Chain A
Amino acid sequence: MGAKTWATPVAWLGRRVIRATSELAEFLRFLKEVFHWTFHRPFRVQLIFSQMEFIGNQSLNIVLVSGLAVGAVFGLQIGAVFQVFSAENLMGAATGRALCQELAPLVTAILLTWRAGSSMTAEIATMKVNEQVDAMEAMAVDPVSYLVVPRFLASLTIVPLLCAVFIFIGVLGAFIAGVFLFNVDQGQFVEKITNVVAPRDIWRGLVKSFVFSGLMAAICCRYGLRASGGAKGVGKATTNSVVVTLLAILAVDVVITYFQIVW
């Protein structure tokens, strides 16, 4: 009896582990295919540029608004704490560092997953359920080469740039909050930032953003290509891709942050 009550949760856990492992193995095989087509002909430059326009240009407004808001709000929060210790001059430095190393890459990735990643999944999933992906294969065109690689490369190129924009505009938001609400001296604000925030901090953030963007494009495209079951399947694939991408980004963020701090 005792063995039986233990067996069910253990079996459930075992099944989960096996499923997760096989999903991961499948995803790694998919990534291998993406890398294969990244370095093999045909190189679809026009498609890459079109995706860069979609991911980058069309996401710029949301990145600008969010960057300004996040920078200002974070600046306000930090400023309120620092004011207790009469150290509000340091709010720019603290906000700048947090933006560079963590906030900008993470929030940009979340925004881009929500706006561009979900769209990637929905578009490819719709093509999949309407047999357009099958048609592509029937015409001897590899869907990974045609649909995934341009989105993957465009994301790798554009998302770190958007992250850089986010950092800049976030610092501007913090500057506005600091100078106009906490009466921080403009020169002090800039001086503390340049003293505390090193190029290495910006570089760390951009590395994170680069990894997040690759993850986002790969996971979202993979969910699109695996979709089935009509409109409901497209919706399910889109929701799942966003959830899984965000969880994966958070998990990878912990790992990268650990290594960046240790090394």
Chain B
Amino acid sequence: MIEFKDVTKSFGQHKVLDRLNLQIPAGQITFVIGKSGEGKSVTIKHIMGLLKPDFGRVVVDGEDITDLGIDEIRQYRRRFGMLFQHAALFDSMTVGENVIFPLKEHVKMPEHEMLKRVEEVLTQAGLPGIQHKFPTELSTGEKKRVGLARALVSRPQFILYDEPTTGMDPLVSEMIDELIVKTSQEEKNLTSIVISHDLKAALATAENIVFLYKGQVALAGPPEAFRSSKDPVVRQFFAGKVAGPMEFL
């Protein structure tokens, strides 16, 4: 489980997280939603140890990661896989080299086993046999799937998806959502955290949703809790209306 205890983070005068208390259960798909600038990416960066809170603690599986040193944090990050918004594949490498990258960096295993694992995750992502291709030869959806294969290759405990369907057409979006669910089902004990604006996907895919507003959790719970919520801010966000109590800066 990932816990945020009174986490506060400011950039200059702008307080992004304001005594944020948050719990992300293990082994589930959790969507973190909220309008732009509400601290979703800042939250994910705290989980990865890329940012440190000004106040408060971040606890992962009972271990306080807030004050870990640079070597410890690097060791800690090996438990994560991350799919970036634009996949962030290395252009100079082939698909195979991209996917094998985390294994070559951190895992001691024979080369043929690494190659076997690469084929396995690419098949899981629905793209077998494309190791020789370069990222520039792939469509946006394919790049995302290769990014997912790279995130999964070292069998992480946590996988973070940063806006996985933003800018995608509806078909590719649905395919990515299905892949998130399929991956979560196939990989035992995998905790999936999805940063998204996509409410439809969150309601259809998530087991747990966290709605951030003004640097705090406005509502957290299963999709049913959101469907039945009477909170005016939550209703406004779900209705996608500009008029309402939600403040826009």
Contact = CB atoms under 8 A, between A and B. Distances in A.
Contacts of B50: 134, 137-138
A130 B77 contact: no
A131 B74 contact: no
A142 B78 CA distance: 12
A140 B88 contact: no
B194 to A, nearest CB: 15
B84 A134 contact: yes
Interface in A98-157: 123, 126-127, 130-132, 134-135, 137-142
A138 B88 CA distance: 11
A140 B105 contact: yes
Contacts of A140: 74-75, 77-78, 105-106
B77 to A, nearest CB: 4
For the side of the interface on A, what is the size category? Answer: 10 to 19
Contacts of B86: 130-131
B74 A134 contact: no
B106 A131 contact: no
A126 B101 CA distance: 19
A132 B105 contact: no
Contact of A134 (B88, B102, B105): B88
Contacts, number: 48
Interface of B: 48, 50, 74-75, 77-78, 80, 82, 84-86, 88-92, 101-102, 105-106, 160
Given A138-B80, A138-B160, A140-B77, 8 more contacts: A123-B92, A127-B91, A130-B91, A132-B88, A138-B48, A138-B82, A139-B105, A140-B106
29 contacts: A42-B105, A126-B91, A127-B90, A127-B91, A130-B86, A130-B91, A131-B84, A131-B85, A131-B86, A131-B88, A132-B89, A132-B90, A134-B50, A135-B82, A135-B88, A135-B89, A135-B90, A137-B50, A138-B50, A138-B77, A138-B84, A139-B77, A139-B101, A139-B106, A140-B77, A140-B78, A140-B105, A140-B106, A141-B101
Contacts of A142: 74
A134 B106 CA distance: 17
Nearest to B160: A138
Nearest to A126: B91
A130 B87 CA distance: 9
Contacts of B78: 140
A127 B88 CA distance: 8
Contacts of A130: 86, 88, 91
A132 B101 CA distance: 12
A130 B147 CA distance: 13
A145 to B, nearest CB: 10
Contacts of A137: 50, 77
A224 to B, nearest CB: 14
A42 B160 CA distance: 26
A135 B77 contact: no
A132 B91 contact: yes
Nearest to A132: B88
A168 to B, nearest CB: 33
A232 to B, nearest CB: 17
Contacts of B102: 139
Contact of B105 (A123, A127, A135, A141): A141
Nearest to A42: B105
